Amino acid sequence: MAFVFKRLALYLIALVVSLILNFLLPRMMPGDPVGTMFARFRGRLSPEAMDALQQSLGFTGESLLDQFWSYLSALSSGDLGLSVAHFPTPVTEVISAGLWWTLWLAGISVLISFTLGTALGIFIAWRRGGVLDQTLPPLFALLGAFPYFWLAMLLLWVFGFQLGWFPLRHAYGDDLEPGWTWLFISDMFRHAALPALSIVLATLGGWMLSMRNTMISVLGEDYITLAQAKGLSSRQVMLRYAARNAILPNLTGFGMAIGFVVSGSLLTEIVFSYPGQGYLLVQAVRAQDYPLMQGLFLTITLSVLFANWLLDILYAVLDPRTRRST
Amino acid sequence: MNRTSWLLDIWYNPKARCGFLILGGLASLAIFGPLFVSDPSLSVARPHLSPSWTHLLGTTGQGQDVWAQTVVGAGLTLTIGFTVGLLVTVIGAIIGVISGYLGGLTDELITALVNVFLVIPGLPLAIILAAYLPTGPLSMVAILTVTGWAWTARVVRAQTMTLRGKDFVRSASLIGEPLWRIILVELLPHMASLLLSTFIGTTIYAIGAQVGLEFLGLGDMGSVTWGTNLYWAANDQALLTRAWWTYVPTGVGIALVGFSLALINFGLDEVTNPRLSVDRIWRSRLHQLGVTPTSLTAKVELRSSTATSNSAAEIANKRGVRDE
Amino acid sequence: MNSLHLAAPPSSLSHQRDQSQRDQSQRDQSQRDQSSLGWLLIITLCCLCALSCRRDRAEQREDVLVVSVEQHSSWIRNFNPFSPNARRFTRAGVYEPLMIHNSVTGELTPWLATAYEWNQDYTELSFTIRRGVKFSDGTPLTPRDVVFSFMYLQRYPALDISGLWSIISSVEESANHQVTVILNEPFQPKLHDIAQHIIVPSAIWSKITDPVAFTNPHPVGSGPFTEVNVFRSQVFELSRNPHYWRKGRPAIRSLRFPAFPSNDQANLALVTGEIDWAGNFVPAIDRTFIAPDPNQRHYWFPLVGSMVNLISNTQTPPFDQLKVRRALSEAIDRERVVEIAMYSYTRPADSTGLSDGFQKYHDESISHDYQWADYNPTHAIKLLRDAGLRRDHRGWYLPESQDPISLTIDVVSGWSDWVRAAQVISHQLREIGIDARVRTSEFSSWFDRLRSGRFELAIAWADDRGSPYEYYRWLMGSETVKPVGESAAGNFHRFGDRAADLLLAQLKRGTSKAQEQALVNLLQRRYAQLTPVIPLFPNPQWGAANRQRITGFPSQADPYAPLSPNREPECLLVFDRLKPRASLAHGGER
């Protein structure tokens, strides 16, 4: 478990760094973002309310350290300030509407992509030199080379607009009441299908290739030869010996991929009007809504860090060595 | 072992050669193409004309020539992409080598920072940075470098740690060679293929991220790049007006660059990864003998004593290498 | 590097079973491998099929109007009519104003007030409040509510966005169901702002302690649609007010708003027929929207939006010279700008700089007398020479300067039509030898440059607020000119003219209709003489409607109001006329 806690320490540092980034960016950047930000509140907020808001965001005349402190204390009480573009709604409320959808979309895509990619990787490594091994890697490299959003646009156009097989937008049908009903859940999947497919297509190749290469390395190990010499079935050797060992390094990449896929899904969400964080972030940027922008960055980072930590726990469970090392 | 023999081998690798040819073609198009096309930002005809002989790829929603835009757009996009690739590789290599070679507290601190940058999601950070910085190619390079250096640093550090224990590095440090000399002469040349591989990876990332940011309208919309082309295509509602020619060429261009770079990386991997290459040679021999290779036949393993046990590209392929 | 070595052999190696499988043939094995892959494929395909099956869409109700306004990825609940970020139709749907200024006809339509009256010297404005109006909770709307709604802004100045209380001194209830607004000074042009003030129930709003931060989730208003019965992040619905004062209205049951984060998405939905009424920009609209169903679909883009100008900093050389400003104007081929940047949805501006919203003031003779808004590059070059500029192969020079003039046109990066217009203009200016480059920047930095006057050329809107007084005040009024470096609220081109000031003062004091027309004509001529800004084109009001389910939309043939859901009080006029098609057939069941 020491491993898990060691990683936890890393995530805490990462959190602090992103807090510092969040804090310093508006204060260090050229121009006067802070001035602009408050200029946009002018006329909407009474002077006292403005002071209070400045206080809570840490924009005061004090030293940087003191400002940072008041920024942190406001944060710890869940106060991310008020959104400029959606004034007077607090940033936390604006964000909470879409966070789950982003996590759901990114989560399901990364899961499918990882499972499918790893399975294919195992398979083509096992039958390396075969037709699939010759064709799949270049094919997926080509698919992966297209920008996420470009594939998304294409899928939307072909399967959504022209063929009408899939809905064009949103995370569930507008005429449905969200709830744990079969109808709603199936609709949720239907709406996630195209966006997820575009992410899966773009990322599958990476998983497949890295799994294939690790598998090939593992297949060269003595214990595999031994296992085969002992006459275990190929299938058993492939899955229980080679794949099980090869999957661990691939799993470590999983954590990093979450950040990557969340990034990519932001773009995909925009194409599919998926009600997640992606479009909120872009709209916040376009509207110069700095509090919202920073709040979004913070929540996205936090959720990626948390997902990473969960993975570490899983990793520790799967890999005996991390449990042993203290 | 000849340190640079793999450079030649890459050329003889069919995948890599194919990649080089595609990339070369695109690069020469980007360099010389603009001499032969009209001003891409000039409106030369009616908007949304479909492809014809006068306008090979039709016109955009603003009546600009799509072919000219694609050709000229390649220039800035590739320049930024390769610049970022180079910058990230240089910065990442320096940080990684210093961290890996010095070890101790410096290493701990740098590693912590690298890990932090690796887990912070890149695109949101890039979007935020782009929002604050003035628009322009320099800002774009800065943003992509800041969000991309950590991966290279990590890979290079891992490789340095292996090399550090090798005799030639030890002896160099024993005879009192200065640090910069050890790094530049002893360490970096030995990981040339690794650096090349990360350079390729970073360039792919930089082009993708740049196009993504510009597609969101966060770049310099006045310039002509592949990202702004797609931005304008979306803006002029290419899908709705069925003007596929406004976004397909650019998308294919981006994909071709990414694909050719990936092919080169495949080739590099096959050439420098002893396991993959031995396997391949063995396979082709068997093939000549008329034996169909299967999982059981290819169990020959050369434990190469000269090469490091894991190839450059293999390391680069394993994204999340853990160091314990 | 240790980490790269793989995990130790699994312990299962020791309890391996028999050796009998040793002679199993390779062929079997490969078949099994393939079959497992096959299963994987079959499962994937099944999932895809299951997903792609169409769910039976719940039939869209005939009497629900689906509207596309505002672009958001998810809806935030805010029905506070004083908040600039309230959901659309809060100020004209949930709540209503005293009167509605119709930008198409230019008239004031009585609404919650049946009439207005000025006193002799235009210092007191009285409204007769309609009797029998009820709020959606059943309580009557009284003159007291009207007075309260005005006084509310005085109590909370942060809500007073249009600055009413800078000219109002008090608001009183008077006899005969009347409310009188007393002004500090004669100020006729403020009529529209005052008449369109939103009326809220005093019983409810007097209890709100912080109206600025209040999002009014369950609004009570006097408008046609007050009941929020669906509110989710993807869609919300506003339904009929049970106590609406206009009998039998509205004929439609509710308004439905799906969230569209971008124009692309809204347009896709518009084209597929999911939307009845939209106010977004649609490219090539005849081909994309109209063509699939020309009988039921129509659009109308009246040019009543504000004028879009190329503005120059008139306090810095060379733009302090009239000839230079005119030369720039004549160098621009507005036809081309309009065709490329605006899909020919608008027309080139003429030398009066008036949009169609001011049609009734437009003096045709002026555009004949002053032709500096026509494309004439040769004359433009002559004007530059006359202005004392020198020219060589590198470009134009100021009289004493060694370096050629190089200009920057500032535009906001996201505002694509203007960016495009700027690109076309920069090409055209380069054709007469002026080196002009486009610089795109974020709104705030662009806006800062304009406000402080630190720019050369920029594309910007003209402030008109529906009245010629405001339009010309921000174009030529000396009081609005701020020195370069100081932040200005408008008049970014920093141009003031004494003669115009006198005319504006007269206009403000209040005049008869004929006098007003004469004054505006003089202002028009003054504008044409001075070229304070370079007008490009009037902004269209985007509006498109699909009459498949709902009819009664305004159109060019029946221009009773603009066909744009973005025009806030005026859409009340549209709601009043809309009818479901079904009720047409059944002769109106309600």
- State how beta strands C96-97 and C124-129 pair: unpaired
**Confidence tier at C180 by pLDDT (50, 70, 90):** very high
Average pLDDT of the residues in C407-420: 81
Which of the listed ranges A71-75, A273-277, C82-86, C380-384 does the model predict with the highest average pLDDT?
C380-384
From the CB of residue B292, how many other CB atoms can be counted at a distance below 10 Å? 11
**Confidence tier at C305 by pLDDT (50, 70, 90):** confident
Tell me what percent of the residues of chain C surpass a pLDDT of 90: 35
- Residue A11 shares a structural domain with residue A145: no
Average pLDDT of the residues in B52-77: 86
Q: Which of B212, B213, B232 lies closest to B222 in space, CA to CA?
A: B232
Burial code (b: 16+ CB inside 10 Å, e: under 16) for C77-89 equals bbbbbbbebbbbb
Which of the listed ranges A95-104, A247-256, C561-570 does the model predict with the highest average pLDDT?
C561-570
- The two structure tokens encoding residue A65: 């350290």
| Strand, helix or coil for residue C571 | helix
| 8 Å CB contact of A49 and C84 | no
Is A81 a member of any domain? no
| 8 Å CB contact of A153 and B215 | no
Q: Which fold would CATH assign to domain C11-33+304-538?
A: Dipeptide-binding Protein; domain 3 (3.10.105)
Are B87 and B141 contacting, i.e. CB atoms less than 8 angstroms apart?
yes
* Dihedral sign for Cα atoms in the order B195, B200, B201, B205: positive
- Distance from C-alpha of A119 to C-alpha of A142, rounded to nearest angstrom: 19
- Alpha helix segments (H runs only) across chain A: 2-28, 33-39, 47-56, 64-76, 91-126, 131-145, 148-155, 182-219, 222-229, 234-236, 244-272, 277-286, 290-318, 320-324
Q: Which residue would you say has higher pLDDT here, C181 or A284?
A: C181
Q: Which residue would you say has higher pLDDT here, A57 or B61?
A: B61
DSSP structure class, residue C551 = E
- Distance from C-alpha of A133 to C-alpha of A139, rounded to nearest angstrom: 10
**Confidence tier at A149 by pLDDT (50, 70, 90):** confident
One-letter amino acid identity for C195?
Answer: A
Chain B residues with CB-CB distance to A304 below 8 A: 119-121
Q: Which of C414, C408, C361 lies closest to C527 in space, CA to CA?
A: C361
Q: Which of A186, A156, A188, A155 lies closest to A171 in space, CA to CA?
A: A188
**Confidence tier at C396 by pLDDT (50, 70, 90):** confident
C446: nearest CA in chain B? B134
Range of the domain at A314: 92-318
- Distance from C-alpha of C192 to C-alpha of C189, rounded to nearest angstrom: 7
| Strand, helix or coil for residue A239 | helix
**Confidence tier at B242 by pLDDT (50, 70, 90):** confident
| 8 Å CB contact of B251 and A150 | yes
Which DSSP string corresponds to C12-76?
A: GGTT---SGGGG--HHHHHHHHHHHHHHHHHHHHHHHHHHHSPPPPPPPPTTEEEEE-S--SS--
| 8 Å CB contact of C4 and B217 | no
One-letter amino acid identity for C375?
Answer: Y
pLDDT at B297: 41
- The two structure tokens encoding residue B128: 């935020």
CATH number of the CATH domain containing B95: 1.10.3720.10
- Alpha helix segments (H runs only) across C173-295: 191-195, 202-205, 263-271, 285
pLDDT at C42: 61
pLDDT at C343: 83
| 8 Å CB contact of B295 and A234 | yes
- Distance from C-alpha of C113 to C-alpha of C486, rounded to nearest angstrom: 42
Are B236 and B62 contacting, i.e. CB atoms less than 8 angstroms apart?
yes
What residues 60-79 of chain B have any CB closer than 8 A to a CB of chain A? none
Compute the C-alpha angle C252/C258/C261, nearest 5°: 145
pLDDT at C113: 93
Q: Alpha carbon B200 to chain centroid distance? A: 3
pLDDT of residue A126 exceeding 90, the answer is no
Count of helices and strands (H, E) across chain A:
14, 0
**Confidence tier at B290 by pLDDT (50, 70, 90):** low
Instruction: Name every residue whose Cβ is closer than 8 Å to that of residue A53 and which is 6 or more positions away in sequence.
Output: A41, A45, A81, A82
Average pLDDT, chain B: 79
pLDDT at B274: 63
> What is the longest distance spanned by two Cα atoms in chain B?
73
- Residue A66 shares a structural domain with residue A136: no
CATH of the structural domain C37-79+214-301+544-585, one choice from 3.90.1580.10, 3.40.190.10, 3.40.50.300, 3.40.50.800: 3.40.190.10
One-letter amino acid identity for A205?
Answer: G
pLDDT at A322: 59
Express each pLDDT in C73-115 by its tens digit.
788 889 999 887 789 899 889 999 999 988 888 788 999 999 9
A47: nearest CA in chain C? C158
The total domain count for chain A is 2
Query: Of A23, A51, A76, which closes a domain?
Result: A76
Q: Which of C116, C111, C71, C129 lies closest to C223 in space, CA to CA?
A: C111
In total, the C-beta contacts within 8 angstroms joining chain A to chain C are 193
pLDDT at B234: 83
Are C528 and C475 contacting, i.e. CB atoms less than 8 angstroms apart?
no
Compute the C-alpha angle B10/B13/B14, nearest 5°: 135
Express each pLDDT in C198-249 by its tens digit.
999 999 999 988 888 888 999 999 999 999 988 988 889 999 999 999 988 8
- The two structure tokens encoding residue C304: 């009543």
CATH of the structural domain C90-205, one choice from 2.60.40.10, 3.30.1150.10, 3.40.50.300, 3.90.76.10: 3.90.76.10
- Distance from C-alpha of A164 to C-alpha of A171, rounded to nearest angstrom: 16
Are C192 and C91 contacting, i.e. CB atoms less than 8 angstroms apart?
no
Average pLDDT, chain A: 79
Asked if the interface predicted TM-score (ipTM) of this complex is over 0.85, the answer is no
- State how beta strands C395-397 and C390-392 pair: antiparallel
Q: Which of A217, A212, A126 lies closest to B296 in space, CA to CA?
A: A126
Contacts of B among chains (3+ CB pairs under 8 A): A, C
pLDDT of residue B292 exceeding 70, the answer is no
Which DSSP string corresponds to C315-366?
A: TSTTTTSHHHHHHHHHH--HHHHHHHHHTT-S----TT---GGGGGG--HHH
| 8 Å CB contact of C440 and B42 | no
pLDDT at C552: 92
Chain C residues with CB-CB distance to A116 below 8 A: 40, 44
Q: Which residue would you say has higher pLDDT here, A76 or C336?
A: C336
Residue owning tokens 């891409």:
B40
Express each pLDDT in C7-25 by its tens digit.
333 333 333 333 333 334 4
The whole-angstrom distance between A92's CA and the closest CA on chain C is 12
The whole-angstrom distance between B322's CA and the closest CA on chain C is 6
Express each pLDDT in C399-413 by its tens digit.
777 788 888 999 876
Tell me what percent of the residues of chain A surpass a pLDDT of 90: 1
H/E segment holding residue C584: helix C581-585
- The two structure tokens encoding residue B12: 């003889």
pLDDT at B288: 61
All CATH 3.10.105.10 domain ranges in chain C, comma separated:
11-33+304-538
Tell me what percent of the residues of chain B surpass a pLDDT of 70: 81
pLDDT of residue C589 exceeding 60, the answer is no
Are C438 and C459 contacting, i.e. CB atoms less than 8 angstroms apart?
no
Q: Which of B121, B218, B293 lies at the smallest CB-CB distance from A304?
A: B121
Instruction: Name every residue whose Cβ is closer than 8 Å to that of residue C272 and which is 6 or more positions away in sequence.
Output: A161, A168
- Residue A42 shares a structural domain with residue A103: no
- Distance from C-alpha of A70 to C-alpha of A66, rounded to nearest angstrom: 6
pLDDT at C47: 57
pLDDT at C461: 86
pLDDT at C479: 86
Average pLDDT of the residues in B172-194: 82
Q: Which residue would you say has higher pLDDT here, C459 or B104?
A: C459
One-letter amino acid identity for B146?
Answer: V
The total domain count for chain B is 1
All CATH 3.40.190.10 domain ranges in chain C, comma separated:
37-79+214-301+544-585
| Strand, helix or coil for residue B281 | helix
Average pLDDT of the residues in B200-227: 86
From the CB of residue A35, how many other CB atoms can be counted at a distance below 10 Å? 13
Q: What are phi and psi of A22, to 5 degrees?
A: -60, -40
Is B154 a member of any domain? yes
One-letter amino acid identity for A107?
Answer: G
Instruction: Name every residue whose Cβ is closer than 8 Å to that of residue A60 and which is 6 or more positions away in sequence.
Output: A54, A66, A67, A70
On whether any CB of chain B is under 8 Å from the CB of A318, the answer is no
- Distance from C-alpha of C456 to C-alpha of C451, rounded to nearest angstrom: 12
pLDDT at C16: 34
The whole-angstrom distance between C2's CA and the closest CA on chain A is 12
pLDDT of residue B63 exceeding 80, the answer is no
**Confidence tier at A325 by pLDDT (50, 70, 90):** very low
Is B99 a member of any domain? yes
- Distance from C-alpha of B147 to C-alpha of B166, rounded to nearest angstrom: 32
pLDDT of residue B54 exceeding 60, the answer is yes
DSSP structure class, residue C107 = P
All CATH 3.90.76.10 domain ranges in chain C, comma separated:
90-205
- The two structure tokens encoding residue B197: 């591989």
| Strand, helix or coil for residue A102 | helix
Q: Would you put residue B275 in left (φ > 0), alpha (ψ -120 to 50) or beta?
A: alpha
pLDDT at B319: 34
Q: Hey, which residues does C408 pair with through a beta bridge? A: C437
Question: Which range is least confidently modeled, A28-32, B55-59, C44-48, C255-259?
Answer: C44-48
pLDDT of residue C2 exceeding 50, the answer is no
- Entry field: residues in chain A: 326
Q: Which of C40, C50, C73 lies at the smallest CB-CB distance from A275?
A: C73
pLDDT of residue C4 exceeding 70, the answer is no
In total, the C-beta contacts within 8 angstroms joining chain B to chain C are 78
Range of the domain at B114: 3-273
From the CB of residue A5, how many other CB atoms can be counted at a distance below 10 Å? 10
Interface-testing mutation among A285, A306, A322, with chain B (most B C-beta atoms within 10 A):
A285
- Distance from C-alpha of C401 to C-alpha of C379, rounded to nearest angstrom: 23
- State how beta strands C297-299 and C544-546 pair: antiparallel
The answer to whether the pTM exceeds 0.90 is no
Q: Hey, which residues does C96 pair with through a beta bridge? A: C199
- Distance from C-alpha of A216 to C-alpha of A125, rounded to nearest angstrom: 6
**Confidence tier at C486 by pLDDT (50, 70, 90):** confident
Report cis status (omega within 30 of 0) of the bond before C219.
no
Are C179 and C172 contacting, i.e. CB atoms less than 8 angstroms apart?
yes
From the CB of residue C394, how many other CB atoms can be counted at a distance below 10 Å? 12
| 8 Å CB contact of C6 and A246 | yes
- Residue A232 shares a structural domain with residue A134: yes
Interface-testing mutation among B108, B115, B120, B300, with chain A (most A C-beta atoms within 10 A):
B120
**Confidence tier at C160 by pLDDT (50, 70, 90):** confident
pLDDT at B79: 93
The whole-angstrom distance between B292's CA and the closest CA on chain A is 10
Q: Which of A310, A307, A305, A320 lies closest to A248 in space, CA to CA?
A: A320
Is A53 a member of any domain? yes
pLDDT of residue A320 exceeding 80, the answer is no
Are B239 and C264 contacting, i.e. CB atoms less than 8 angstroms apart?
yes
A74 CB-side CA count, 13 A: 25
Is B230 a member of any domain? yes
Is B282 a member of any domain? no
Are A112 and A203 contacting, i.e. CB atoms less than 8 angstroms apart?
no
What residues 410-449 of chain C have any CB closer than 8 A to a CB of chain B? 413-414, 416, 419-420, 423-424, 427, 437-442, 445
Chain A residues with CB-CB distance to B283 below 8 A: 128-129
Q: What's chain C's Rg over C-alpha atoms? A: 31
Q: Which of C420, C424, C440 lies at the smallest CB-CB distance from B220?
A: C440
**Confidence tier at C36 by pLDDT (50, 70, 90):** low
B324: nearest CA in chain C? C3
Report cis status (omega within 30 of 0) of the bond before B40.
no
